[in-house]
Structure formats: C-alpha cells, structure tokens
A and B are shown apart, each in its own frame.
Chain A
Amino acid sequence: MELRHVLEVRNLRVAYARRSGGVWHALNGVSFRVGAGEILGVLGESGSGKSTLALSLLHLLPGNGRITGGEILLNGADVVEMDAIQLRRLRGSGISMVFQEASLALHPTMRIGDQVGEVLRAHQGLSKRERVARTREILGKVFRDDVERIFSAYPHQLSGGQQQRALIGQAIACEPAVVVADEPTAALDSTTQKGILALFQSLRDKLGIAFLFITHNAALLAGFADRVLVLYAGKVAELGPAHGVLSSPQHPYTQALLSCLPPHNNDAAGRGRPALLPVIAGAPPSLAVLSQGCSFEPRCESRMELCRAHEPSAAQLGHRHEVACLKFPAAAV
C-alpha cells in the first residue's frame, strides 16, 4: 500500500553567504518524500546539512542562508514560494518544530499551560475557556500524569525530559501534518530518551502526525524510525527502510559510519586491552567549492576511477531503498 505523501522535497539546494565572502553549499540537491504518519530518521554528522534541512522546511533559515533551488511541497503547497503571512499560518498548524534544547526553547517566565495555549491562540479562534480545556487535553497526550501541576508550572520547575515533553505539546497543539524534531533527545540521558521516542510513536499512532527525526546517533533510530535518510555533505547518500539501512547498509559512507559504533553484544568486554574501532579516514569535505564527483570519494574505501569525475545519482535497490553510489550501475546515469 502506498502512503499518501504529506511532504515532498525536490532537489532542495541551500547556500549560506560567508563572512569572508563566497558561499557555503549546505544542501546540494536533496529529494525525499514523507508519508502521512511516517517517522523518517535523518542521520548525519556535524556539517552534513541536517539542521539546515530542518530549518529550511519551515523557512526559518538565518539571514545569510538562502534556498537557491528546489521545492518543498507540504500537502501540495510550495513552502519556498510562500510570503510572510502564509508562512506564519503554516508554522505551527501545517508543520512545526521541536528543538534540541527545550530549556532554551521554552519561555522562562511563562507557565507551561500558557505557552501551549499560545499556539492555539495564534492559529485557532477559540474562547479562553475552550483554549484552557484544549491545552489540558494536549498536555494529557504528552504527559502520563501530573497534568494539573505541569499546566501551572514554570519551565525551571520541570526536569529535562518534562521540558522536552512540554515542547512536543506545543509542536502538536494544532495537529500539524509534519513535525520536524532536530536532535530532540541529545541532551537527555538514555532512559529518558527512550521515553521520548515512545511518545513520538504514540503521537504518530494516535494523531497520524509524520515526524522528521534528525539525529547524529544511529543507535536511536533502530526500532524507532520507519525509514532512514543518510545525509553526507549536503546530499542524500542513502534512503530506505530503517531496518535495511541500519542492518545492511549499502552506501560505503553508511557502512563506515555504522561500523564506528562500539559493538553492542561485546563478548570481549573487559577482557584484556580494548581493540581499536574502525574509523573513517580524513574529514568531511569543505562545502565552499562543490566537488565534481562523489563527495565521499576521498574517504571511501571502495572508490573507483570514475568516482572522482562523476557525481552519482540515486540508484533504486529493491523496495524504496535508494543509494547514491557508483558501485551500483544505475547511479551512473
């Protein structure tokens, strides 16, 4: 069964003007689709463009950033072409965002109930009484208990996990089609992290919201995301079902990245001196100048002669699994 697509990104390019003059090509032709109620994990390291992707979906790039090409279709409407008024209507009700640092994203001197209610006030013409009732209902979805206390609490009275839940409450208040979450669990410890992931899944199940979950931590995505998109140097290296990408990665970058993780059922643990982990030689390329060929070529263990001159396009492997690597002949077109 094919899902209805709520978000379609076509050939998105984003560049930043640099203080030193010149341009930084943060995203270089990113294309993907997200189905209704789907969890898409976006995996990338620093500088891969994952936060730029998150910001451009809401048209929230900083002043020196510009979308230089491509389309972002949210339920068919192009976000790139929207004016300020349309964007204001869109953010919060059509697409919303959960940031990494909940303690910075929440207003420190406003009660949680008022902050969540404010989203409703901006988008839905409810009476005050209706708004309060609706806010309680929303908090009931993101918190298991203690809703009354949290409704009238200030952010500093909540734990890190609770603050993140309040922020998620704001993001889902108007039941948008898509929620973009940029490293929402990076500041939390591992057991709290699992609770937040489970919350995303239950919101997806109950409300049918699609989530774009951006992270640098591949271990979080297993058992959580439906599909995984791997970003490298502002391009999609690999995109496919989470299980396929994480347990049998096809792109050399994905393979190298996943092999860097320490083994999880470590039989050698604690016996003698630890072995060395596999590493990816070198560093990610500068995006000040776009390379002609594959951007991973200088670090790739299975590079070929043609990799330096030809940029790979997405090769389809099996069901909805695509890989941008010239090892697969279909990528050479």
Chain B
Amino acid sequence: MEPLIRVENLVIRHTRQAFGGRASAFTAVDSVSFSISPGATLALVGESGSGKSSLARCLACLQPATSGGIWFEGRDLAALPEEKLRAVRPRLQLIFQDPAASLNPRWTVLRIVAEPLLIEGRSPALEREARAAQLLARVGITAEYLQSQPGELSGGQRQRVAIARALILQPALLILDEVLSALDCSVQAQIANLLVELQRAANLTYLFITHDLRMAAHLAGEIAVMSAGKIVEQGPAGKILRDPRSSQAQSLVQAAAPEAELVEAGSEP
C-alpha cells in the first residue's frame, strides 16, 4: 500500500544565537526517514530535546525543512510553494500538548471549532456552526458547553475541543504532540479511547509523539525511538518492548517498567 506520508532524510537546523555571541547552527532533526500507511499509527518516542517537536512542526508545514523530502498524499511538501501549501494544510493537522495554551481563551467552544471552516471559506455561517456542534457531540462535548469558554472546561474537555478543531476540515493525518501528557491518568484513558474510536471510524492516520512508552505501545503498531535528532531504532511496538536493541530504547523500556530497580545514575548532563 502506498504510504500516506513518507519522510526521507529530513534535516532541520535551527540557528542559535546567545546574547552578544556568534550565531551557531544546531541540528534538531538529523536525517530522519519513516513512512506511515493510511489508517496506521506510528509512535515517535524520545526524551525531551530529542527533536520530536521540531519534527512535528515541520511536518505540519509550520517550519521549513533544511533538507530532505516530505511526501504527503503523493506531493513533495518541501518543494511546494506557499500558496499550494494552503490546499495541503487542512489534510494534515497538529494537536498540541497544552490545550489551555492552544485554544483562544476569549472565544466560545463553538466558535473555536467552527473557525477553520470560516478560513477555508466555503460554507455559510449556519452550516459551519451546525457542523461544529455535530463534531463536538462526536468527541463528547454536549450542547450545554457550546457557549462556554475554554477556561470553564476541564483539561480533558479542552483536549476534546482541540481534537474537534483539528478534525473539522476532515484531515487524513493527525500529528499528536504529547496530547495526553498533561492529563490525569483516568482522563488519559478517555482521550486515548476517543482517538482509537475516531481512527476506526474515519480511517485516520496518526503520528503519536510522546515520552510515554506504555501509551505508545498501546496506541501504535510501530514505534520509532528518537534521540539527539536521529531515529535510533524503529520497529513493531511489541518487538521494541520485548527486545530493545539501542541503549536509548533499553533505557526507555526500563524506565517504563513498574517496580524497576532504582539505581542512582550519575548527575544529568
């Protein structure tokens, strides 16, 4: 099957400049390659600073790649001019870790979810709101909350709103950047279940970015372990859990194991 998204030798460099110092280049993502089939989930697991979020932002066309290619639904995004990207963006949506920061605090839930339709500019106001309300109901936000502002909702409800906003333009790919990390365990389970149900119903493709190996193994068929900008190990989730080969994957598996022996390692770098 033709993959929905294929990333080849992707490199992302940031320029770093300290106050009064010389600018220096920093490689956040270093020759990363992977592909995801339609309807599948790839989990990208790694410690903070490993380049996961840079990669997510680049795939969502929020940040240009330094080199390499991203083929999405057959088109090379890196080579596409800005005006053509507008047509691609609705198909590929990014959801962030902290819905309190990614939702406009002064808008109602209904307006937040209907807004992408307005920007897309094809449907009349009444239809936009009806579709937004329908989708909100689908993700578990009932009619009584439509006129609420994000501040009046719980963390789990806000993440549901963020998911509805991402889904309203009927994307093929959702990039989920630590979307469960800020939630309580019982709410994590509810949102994880919602993601599973939505994927089943609409054949969505997920890139699930996380540092939680247990949740990654639960949701994804395949896991890629990222460290210092590189994918150091990639394979079926079960295999990575049972038989991690790289030292980075081994330490993640060990950290995820319950009752693991606590050994005081040296100070962090």
Binding site for B on A (CB under 8 A): 45-46, 143-146, 159-162, 165, 188-195, 197-199, 201-202, 216-219, 222-224, 256-257, 260-271, 273-280, 283
Contact = CB atoms under 8 A, between A and B. Distances in A.
Task: Sort chain B's interface into a size bin.
Answer: 35 or more
A270 B217 contact: yes
B23 interface: no
Nearest to A267: B238
A195 B262 CA distance: 8
A163 B218 CA distance: 32
A257 B189 CA distance: 10
Contacts of A270: 217, 220-223, 236-239
Given A159-B268, A162-B267, A193-B255, A262 B196 contact: no
B31 interface: no
B237 A269 contact: yes
11 contacts: A161-B268, A202-B264, A217-B185, A219-B258, A223-B261, A266-B214, A266-B237, A267-B238, A269-B236, A270-B236, A274-B218
Contacts of A217: 185
A147 to B, nearest CB: 9
A264 B257 contact: yes
B15 interface: no
Contacts of A276: 193, 196-197
Contact of A216 (B185, B192, B268, B269): B185
A198 B211 contact: no
Residue from the set A144, A193, A261, A263 with the largest chain B CB neighbour count within 10 Å: A261
Contacts of A193: 255
Contacts of A144: 264, 266-267
B123 interface: no
B42 to A, nearest CB: 11
Nearest to A253: B186
Contact residues of A: prevailing secondary structure: loop
A262 B239 CA distance: 17
A188 B267 CA distance: 14
Residue from the set B186, B217, B237 with the largest chain A CB neighbour count within 10 Å: B186
A69 to B, nearest CB: 28
B113 interface: no
Contacts of B184: 45-46, 216
Residue from the set A144, A224, A260, A269 with the largest chain B CB neighbour count within 10 Å: A269
A198 B185 contact: no
A199 B239 CA distance: 32
B256 to A, nearest CB: 7
Interface in B225-269: 236-239, 241, 251-252, 254-269
A273 to B, nearest CB: 6
B24 interface: no
A193 B185 CA distance: 17
B47 interface: yes
A201 B262 CA distance: 9
